[in-house]
Amino acid sequence: MERRNAWLSYNEEQERELEDVASRYRHFLDAGKTERECVTEIVREAEAAGYEELEAKLSRGETLEVGDKVYTVGMKKIVSLFHIGEDRLEEGMNILCAHIDSPRLDIKQNPLYEDTDLAYLDTHYYGGVKKYQWVALPLAMHGVLVKKDGSVVEVNIGEDEDDPVVYITDLLIHLSGRQMEKKASEVIEGENLDILIGSRPLKDVPDEKKKEAVKENVLKILQDKYGVGEEDFLSAELEIVPAGKARECGLDRSMIAAYGQDDRVCAYTSLLAMLEMEAPKRTSCCLLVDKEEIGSVGATGMQSRFFENSVAEVMEAMGSYSELSLRRALRNSRMLSSDVSAGYDPAFAEAFEKKNTAYLGRGIVLNKFTGARGKSGSNDANAEYVAKVRRIFDDHEVAFQTAELGKVDFGGGGTIAYIAALYGMEVIDSGVAVLSMHAPWEVTSKADVYEAKKAYKAFLLDA
C-alpha cells in the first residue's frame, strides 16, 4: 500500500497555502526555542485570534457559553486552549495534544568556573541526545534568571547577527587517535559538554582573584548587562540551543531544517488548526505540554493534573461541573497525540522496515503504536478508532501514511498517548516524519507540515 507523494497532488492555490504555513511555522521556530518562549508566542497568536485567558474571565465572574474561546497557562510552560462547542462538554471533546519541549543542554545551578584562562558554564543534557552532535557548533543561550526579590531577567544571547555565540570545543583531529577508537556514546561524555563563554581577564582585580580573572570578567558582564550575580544562577533556567534561524532546505526549497521540530512541528500545526476553527459542534481543545522528552513528569508535563484541572474549571464556568461529569467528559473525548515519527532515511536503511515506515512528503503519519521491543510503553490504539481517523482524513482529502518506529528490536520510543488513554479516551499518535530526530538540526517536508495542519483541522471538525 504505497502512498503517493503529496507534492504531486497540489494545485497553485494549495502550493501558496503550503508556503504560507511553512513561513509561519519557521517564524514560530525562531521565536520559540524554549517552552517559555513557545507559550509566549502561542498566547500572542491565540489572543490575536480572539482567545481570552480563562482566569481573567473567571475573575470578572463571567460564565462560558457556546462559541467562547479561552486559554489557560501553567507555570509559563504548558498551555491549553478551548473553543466551546454546541454539544454538552460531558459528551467529550476533540483534542489535539503535542509537546513543546525539545532536547537541549541545561545550565547547572552552580555552573561558572575558570580553567587555564578560559571560562566555562557546566551543563546537564536534557532528553535523548547524541552528545557528540553538540560540539563545535554555534550555540545560543535562552532562559531566565530569577532574583531573590522575585524579579525575572530574560536572557537571549546568540540569535541576533551582532550577538556573540557560545561554544563547546572538540578535540582536534590531529590528536584524536584514541578518541576515534571510542564508542559513539563515549566520544563526548556528558560532563564534558561545558560551554565556553570567555577568555578575556578582568584588569585590576584583587590579588586573591587574579587566578580567576576571566571568570570575574564574565561576572562583571552579567552584572552590567543583566544586574545579576553568580548566586542568581541558583534560581535560573538557562537552556543552550543551536544558534540560528530555521532555514529552507534543499535546492527546491521543499524542506525545513531547524532546531526543535520534535515536537514543535506538531504543536504549531495543531495551534493553526485550532485557531482556524469556526463554531465547532464538539468542544475543540489544543493541549501543548512540557517535559515529554524526560517522561512527561512534573507540574507542567502530561502526567500532571494541569489538563484535568483546566477542564474542571471550564465545566464550572459553564455551570456543568461535577466529578462524574468531568470523568465522563474526559472518557468521551477523542485525541490525536500529535508527535513526530521517524522519517525513512536511505543513508540508514538498515534501521527501517520499508513497508511500515514514514516517508518525507507523503503526508501526516499515523502510528497505531510506538514503544519498544514488544510494544512496551505504548498506547496501541483500537482498530475501530484507527478506522474512524482514516475516514476523517480521506473525507477531507488529507494525505496520510501509517508507520512503526523503525525495525522491531532496533530501539523505540514513546509519546504522551498512553497517559491520555488512562482517562479511557480514544487516542492515536499522529504527526510529521522527521529526519535526524533529536539532532541539533532536524529536517521536515513542507508538504507534511501542510498536511498535518489539514489533518488536525479535519479531526477537530469531524471526530
Instruction: Please provide the distance, in angstroms rounded to a whole number, between the alpha carbons at the two ends of the chain.
Output: 25
**Contacts by 381-384 with C-beta closer than 8 Å and gap 24+?**
381/417, 381/426, 381/427, 381/428, 381/429, 382/426
- Give dist(CA 240, CA 167) in Å, integer: 10
Contact 368, 381 (CB under 8 A): yes
Q: Tell me the C-alpha distance between 223 and 219, whole Å.
A: 6
Q: Are 425 and 446 in contact (CB under 8 A)?
A: no
Cα separation, 127 vs 101, in Å, equals 9
Closest residue by Cα to residue 429 from 342, 355, 344, 352: 342
| For range 52-81, the mean pLDDT | 96
**Phi and psi, residue 231, nearest 5°:** -70, -20
Q: What is the pLDDT of residue 63?
A: 95
46: closest CA among 274, 265, 261? Answer: 274
**Digit-coded pLDDT (tens) for 341-383:** 999 999 999 999 999 999 999 999 998 887 677 777 778 888 9
Q: At 385, list the grid cell.
A: 478508532
Share of the chain above pLDDT 70, in %: 99
For position 264, what pLDDT does the model report? 97
- Whether 180 and 162 have beta carbons less than 8 Å apart is answered as no
Q: What is the mean pLDDT of residues 177-201?
A: 96
Residue pLDDT, tens place only, 257-275: 999 999 899 999 999 999 9
Q: State the residue for C-alpha cell 536572557.
A: 155
Write down the residue that cell numbers 511555522 correspond to: 25
Classify 336 as helix, strand or coil: strand
pLDDT at 408: 79
Res. 411 pLDDT band, cuts 50 70 90: low
- For residue 91, the model assigns a pLDDT of 96
Q: Which long-range contacts (CB under 8 A, 24 or more apart) does 205-214 make?
A: 211/114, 212/114, 213/114, 214/114, 214/117, 214/118, 214/119
Q: What is the mean pLDDT of residues 187-201?
A: 96
pLDDT at 379: 83
Residue 380 is predicted with a pLDDT of 84
Angle between helices 35-48 and 261-275 (to 10 degrees): 10
The answer on pLDDT for 337 being more than 70 is yes
427: its cell numbers: 487516542
Helices (H), 208-364: 213-226, 261-275, 306-317, 323-331
Region 312-321: what's the mean pLDDT? Answer: 96
Report which DSSP code applies to 167. B
The identity of residue 224, as a single letter, is D
Q: How do residues 43-60 score in pLDDT, each as one tens digit?
A: 999 999 999 999 999 999
Rounded-to-integer distance, Cα 444 and Cα 345, Å: 12
pLDDT digits (tens, 9 = 90+) for 416-453: 889 999 999 999 999 999 999 999 999 999 999 999 99
pLDDT-based confidence at residue 134 (cuts at 50, 70, 90): very high
* Mean pLDDT value of segment 128-140: 97
Mean pLDDT of all residues in the chain?
Answer: 95
Structural contact between residues 264 and 41, judged by C-beta atoms closer than 8 angstroms: no
